[in-house]
Each structure stands twice: as structure tokens, then as C-alpha cells.
Amino acid sequence: MSPFLSSSRPFVLTLVAALCLSACGGGGDSGASTPTTGTAPTAPVVVAAGAPKDLGFTDAAPVPDVATVPPFVDNVATNQRGDARYATKETNAGVRVVAGFLDFWTPSTLLVDAGQTAPAQAGFPAVVASNWSGIPGDATDGKSVNAAVLGHNIQYVIDVTTARTSAQELAAYLDDRRGKAYSVSDGLGPLTAAWRAAAQQTTTITGIAADATTVKYDDGGNNSGVGGSANPGFGTVVDLVNNIGENGSTEPAKRYFKYARPWRWSSSVKVVPSLEPAKSSTPTTDGGFVSGHTAEAVRNGFAFGYVVPERFQEMVARGLELGENRILAGMHSPLDVIGGRIQGHAVAAASLSTGANAARKAAARAQAQSVLMTAVGATDATALNTFAHSQGTDQDRFADHAASKAAYLRRMTFGFTQVGDKTKPAVVPKGAEVLLETRLPYLDAEQRRVVLKTTAIASGYPAMDDPEGWGRLNLFDAADGYGAFNGDVVVKMDASLGGFHAMDSWRNDIGGAGKLSKTGTGTLRLGGKNSYSGGTQLVAGTLQADSASAFGVGNVYVGGGTLVCNAPSTVTMAGAYTQLGGSTLQMNIGGNGAGRLSVKGVAALDGTLNITFKAGAAPSVGDVLTVVSSGALIGKFSAITVPAGYKVTPTYTATELSLRIDAAV
């Protein structure tokens, strides 16, 4: 870098009790006193805006009343069949968590009793096996409560299985027959080979076998790999994957809801031909709701994402992809898969919060990080994150973030319209914050709960409005940070801890009336179309704009640290911009206005301006770059630095700062 090039004196910010432009950029002499006749009007005094005011409160996501909504994480052990104590919705957490299905379907009996008996116990009456035949529409079957929703549910399967491609057929076949943990591990993308080698993970299902019409489930592999002491280098990780499904059976729900598989509802459903042998011949114990494959894949995908948060979004997306493949296979309906997703997330949270996994999870994460970094030659977690996203879409089908985001949302709803109340506020289940503790480690538990609340999908979709809130959690979006600032948000990042503590990106479109304050030494990048109005205050560390509207519509105040303009177009500030001495504004200048700053209100400048040029955007001698434009500009940078080989001359006007390129190499 060249020496400091500006010799202008530092601008000392002072509050002036006088006429000024508004903090939102208003100009003129609105509010000025009427001048005495014969005297010239006094020009308004332009002053810097102070730090945005705190709202004085933070947002919260309280746990629903446990007296009326028993938390799944506290009652997961009741998810059993063959036990009279847990044969009802009221007593079985695994049934209760997906009980929203009862708004659309009433089973013939409200008991966990399909092909199931249980002796009387502890005052609970004995369970007698139901007479449900498993055949839709006969006298023993349940009743439709909403024909339109259930009609869409089966028609969706008919449509997608009729239009299924050969590639989709193969994917559906593999995800049906292989161990689910092996299947979802390919969501690790560039890290897949290293993971499978470390876990000693194997499969014997690599394609549709020639004899696939005569065999069922014959994967001779080991699914998740080798755990425990038999695999000292990676066994703790494998144990976490294996145990994240404790008390996670979907059989109690299947035997309670007694809702048939789609191919029994309609002969127009086209089961993948090579999966015909996998169709059960005992319909009385073969309910479709909820999908067991989906629930297990969601749990496995989350376990992988927990210990490798660099691929968190890809892994939760892979779990839902496997769920969709159950529909493409003709084996399950959308509502079956939605139920599996809900139950899978609840079980994952419960498993990480209770039992052996509570102590194991940190050790498993440390082991996974160490082994994978060594395997791929990454020196730290940041380098591991870079490697984890080093492939394009030709090799990593999750590489396109926007496409993966859209696919995840589509797989949450499968084309259902909102049939219930669309205005219910989101709630967050007890313990759900654990799902984000490695992906957003610099936030505290309550902040992670608020992230889940502000990124939850809207209410009203079939079977997703459970009282605890599991059905509406959007974990893909939650990994991209807050969806709204509805109170004061203080983010403290400690770069010395590495990984996401050192640098993270929030890519959601953040709304709300709250204020963002960034402290600590780490770097937070904002990439959404943000509209939060409470303002932005940088105290320490780095805050980077990766989009034009990254800083919302309030004032921006830089009291310390480095503010970076890195958007592909000009960064806009709808309010005022204030920069104090000792802080830095970094502009990564490129074409189309990239890296520049446009302030509607007052821009008050001090501290350092650091200029860099994006690849291919090097200016020529004589070029004049307008780097700051504003409603009114006061003060000057105490120093301006540019890349080695360049010299610039700054020109300050009442509204702009421009740089003339005097030399270039």
C-alpha cells in the first residue's frame, strides 16, 4: 500500500445545537427562523448524526406454555409403541408433534393400535389391535376432513411419478435402498470422500441391479460407518450420527394415524419399477404417515451439518431432498414427508439436548473438524469452509445457494396452499436453539431462538402449525441469520476462536424496526435486500456490505473497526453516515458502481479511507472516481490509502468525494 495520501486535517465531530439537515437526508432551511428584514438569511449548519438510538429492548422467542404444550424434548421417551401408557396423542410425544394432520384426516381409532396390542399398565387400559385393513375407502378406514388437501396430496404423487425422469428414478431407488446415512453423506460435496474414508462408510448399492425386480433391501454396507473404539480417529462422530435417532421411531405415528401409502390410494401412482419388491404385503401395519425414511434422513443430515457446519445448509437440504425422493419413488405422499421432516427435527433437537449426545456432541465436532482439515489440507476452519465450497454445480448440486434456498422452501410445502390462519406469529419449540449452536456459535441461545422465529415460514400450511412450532422452522434460512430485527441486536464475534466466530455471512432480507450493533474482532457480512430501520452501529471488528441495501434504511455510525463496501453495485444508505477517527472505510472498487457509497443524508467523514480495486477494474491515469456521494458532506478523511503503484488526489465538495488517478503501474 502507498503512504497516506491526504494531508487534510482530521474532522472532529461535534454536536451543534443549530439548524441542520435531517438525519434522513432532508435539506433546505426547513424549520429556520424568519430572518430580520434587511439581513441575509443564515445558511443552515450541517452536522453529523449521532449514533442510532437503541430501542431499549431485545426480541425474544419464549417457549410455549409447557402446561398446555408439553415440550417434545422433555417427553421424547414417550415415543413408543406396545406400551399402553403411550397409546394416545395426549401421552405420546411422537404422535403429538405431528397431530396437525388430524385437521385433515381422522383415523378409524385414536390409538397407537394398527397391528399393535399392549397390556394394561399403570392405570392405562390395554390396547387391542384395530380392525383397520389398511385399504383406503373400506369400512375400517378413517375419514377425510378436508378432501381438497388430501386430494392434492395424492394427485401430487400421481403427477410427479408420471413425469419422473430416469435420473430421478435412479436417485429415488438409491435413496430407498441404501442406508440413509450413506445416502445423505454426498451432501458434503467436496468433503464427501474424506468423510466416507474417515467414517469407513460403505454401501453395496451403487445402481439399479439387474435383479432388482427380485430383491428388496440388501445393502451390505454399514450405513453410517464404524463407530466407537473400533474407529478411534472418527468413531465419536459416527456414534453421534448413530445416536441422534434415539426414541425416533416413526412407527407409533404410523400406527396411530393409519393413513395408507399413495400407491394404495391410486393405481395411477407409478412406483419405481425396481422398487416393486419393496412394497409391503401387509397393509395393516404399513401406514404412510409419517415417512420413516424422511425422518431418518433429516436427522442424519442434521447430525452431519452439526459437526461440519461449513456444509450445514447443504446437509439440511440433502435431508429434504431424500424426502422428496420418497415421493418420486411413489412410496410416500407430500404430507407423509412433511410429517417426517417435523418429527426428524424434533428428535434431532431432543437427542442433542439429552442423553449421551449432550456430552458427545462437542467432542464429535472437534474430531470431525480436525480429521477433515487434515484430510483436505486445510490449515483452519476458514480454509475448510473455502474447500467445502470449492466445486461448481457440475460437481456439487447444492453449490447454487439461491437455487438450494428455493428448493428447500418448495420441499417444505410441496405446492400446498395456505388453508389455515395465515397470520399466526411464529413460536419456537423448547430446545430448538440447539439446532443452530455450531452454525451460529457467536450468538447466544436466546438470539438463536429469535433467528428461528424470524426465519420461520408463514402459518396456514397443512399439518405444519403444531403448537410447539416445529413445522414452520426453516433451517436453511435460519443458517443465513436473522430474518428481522424486532429489537436491538448486538453481535459480538471473537475472531481468535476461528470458523464462523471469525467470519460469517447473513444472506437473508432483514426487515424490522430494530438496530444492529457489531462488536468484537470478527467479520460479519450482510448480503440481503435489507430494510431494517433502526440503524447500524459498528463498534469494533468488520462489517461488510455484500449488497447495495445491506445496511437497511436507518443511519449508519462507524465508531470503530472497518466498514467494507463490497457490493456489486453502489452501497446505498437511506439515512446518514457518520465515521469517527480511528475507524476505516474500505471500498472494493469495481465496475457498475461497485464498492462506492451513496448517502441520502449527511455524510460526516473522518478516519481512514482504504481503496482496493476488484480484478479487472484497475483505473487509468486521469480517471476520476466519485467514491462518496451524499445529500451533504462534511469533514475529510485523515488518510487515504490505495494499492501500491497508485497515487490519487482527493477532491471534496459539498456533496461528493472524488479521487483523481495521478499514477498507475
User: Please, what are the domains in the chain?
Assistant: 72-455 (1.20.144.10)
Whole-number pLDDT of residue 200: 98
**Looking at residue 480, what is its pLDDT?**
98
DSSP secondary structure letters along 210-244:
TTTTT--S---S-TT---GGGSTTTHHHHHHHHHT
Q: Tell me: the pLDDT tens digits for 168-196?
A: 999 999 999 999 999 999 999 999 999 99
Query: What's the predicted TM-score (pTM) here?
Result: 0.93
Dihedral angle sign, alpha carbons of residues 528, 530, 534, 535: positive
Distances, alpha carbon 633 to alpha carbons 49, 558, 653, 655, 656, in Å: 12, 16, 7, 5, 6
Would you state the cell numbers that stand for residue 245, as one nine-digit string?
A: 435417532
> How is residue 225 written as a grid cell?
460407518
Instruction: Report the range of poorest mean pLDDT among 30-44, 100-114, 348-362, 396-410.
Output: 30-44
Could you read off the pLDDT of 292-335 as tens digits, one per residue? 999 999 999 999 999 999 999 999 999 999 999 999 999 999 99
Which grid cell sits at 440? Answer: 451460529
Tell me the CB-side half-sphere exposure of residue 125, using CA atoms within 13 A.
Answer: 7
Residue with cell 476458514: 382
Which residues, 6+ apart, have CB-to-CB distance to 437 below 8 Å? 445, 448
State percent of the chain over pLDDT 70: 93
Q: Is the pLDDT of residue 43 over 80?
A: no
Residue 223 has pLDDT above 90, yes or no: yes
* pLDDT single digits (tens) 511-565: 999 999 999 999 999 999 999 999 999 999 999 999 999 999 999 999 999 999 9
CB within 8 Å of 308: residues ≥ 6 apart = 188, 191, 195, 315, 368, 369, 372, 388
Give the residue ranges of DSSP H helices in 377-474.
381-388, 401-413, 445-455
| Cα-based distances in Å from 312 to 576, 619, 627 | 37, 40, 37
Banded pLDDT at 41 (limits 50, 70, 90): low
For residue 461, what is the DSSP state?
S
